[in-house]
Structure formats: structure tokens, C-alpha cells
Amino acid sequence: MPNIKSAIKRVKVTATKNLQNRMVKSSVRTQIKKFDATVAAGDASQIESQLRVTAAAVDKAAAKHVMHKNAANRKKAQLARAAAKANG
């Protein structure tokens, strides 16, 4: 443990931010799993709505700097490609 006051605060802040980032990452992963399950089910209208929700979750993660913006764009492209393939 650090002895300096500012270092003690940094440890607390880092732990809090780490928890928040893990929560965001986890929710994005969960949303992607829901999208994959919808694609596997094959319902076209559900796939489109789930794609919008999942893309929004990825964008929010990128906006919070939990995910790099290029990684977020790549993930959204992968999701859109999967949706297009599932729709025929």
C-alpha cells in the first residue's frame, strides 16, 4: 500500500474505474451473446432490432473509452455482416 496521500487516492480511483470498466465490458459481451442467440434463432425482425441494441451498446463502450473506437467499428461491422448473412 502506498504511504503518500495522492497515491492512496489514485489506488481508490483506479479500483473504482476498473470496476466500472469491467461492468461496461461485461454488458457489451452479454449483449453480443444475445445477438448471436438471435441470429442462431433466425427471426429476421428480431435480428434487426437486436443489431440496433447491440451496436448502441458497443458505441457507448467506445464513447467511455472502454473499447477503442476502431475495435468498436470493427465489431459493429462483424455484427452487421452476421445479420446480413442470417437474413439471406
Domain CATH code at residue 22 = 1.20.58.110
Percentage with pLDDT > 70 across the chain:
100
Q: How far apart are CA 36 and CA 75, in angstroms?
A: 13
Number of domains in the chain: 1
The mean per-residue pLDDT over the stretch 7-30 comes to 97
Q: How far apart are CA 72 and CA 55, in angstroms?
A: 9
Q: What is the pLDDT of residue 37?
A: 96
Under a CB-based contact definition with an 8 Å cutoff, are residues 44 and 87 in contact? yes
The model's pTM is 0.87
Q: Which domain holds residue 21?
A: 5-87
Residues 47-63 have pLDDT tens digits of: 999 999 999 999 999 99
Q: Which long-range contacts (CB under 8 A, 24 or more apart) does 20-28 make?
A: 21/64, 21/66, 24/60, 24/61, 24/64, 24/66, 25/61, 25/66, 25/67, 27/57, 28/57, 28/58, 28/61, 28/66, 28/67
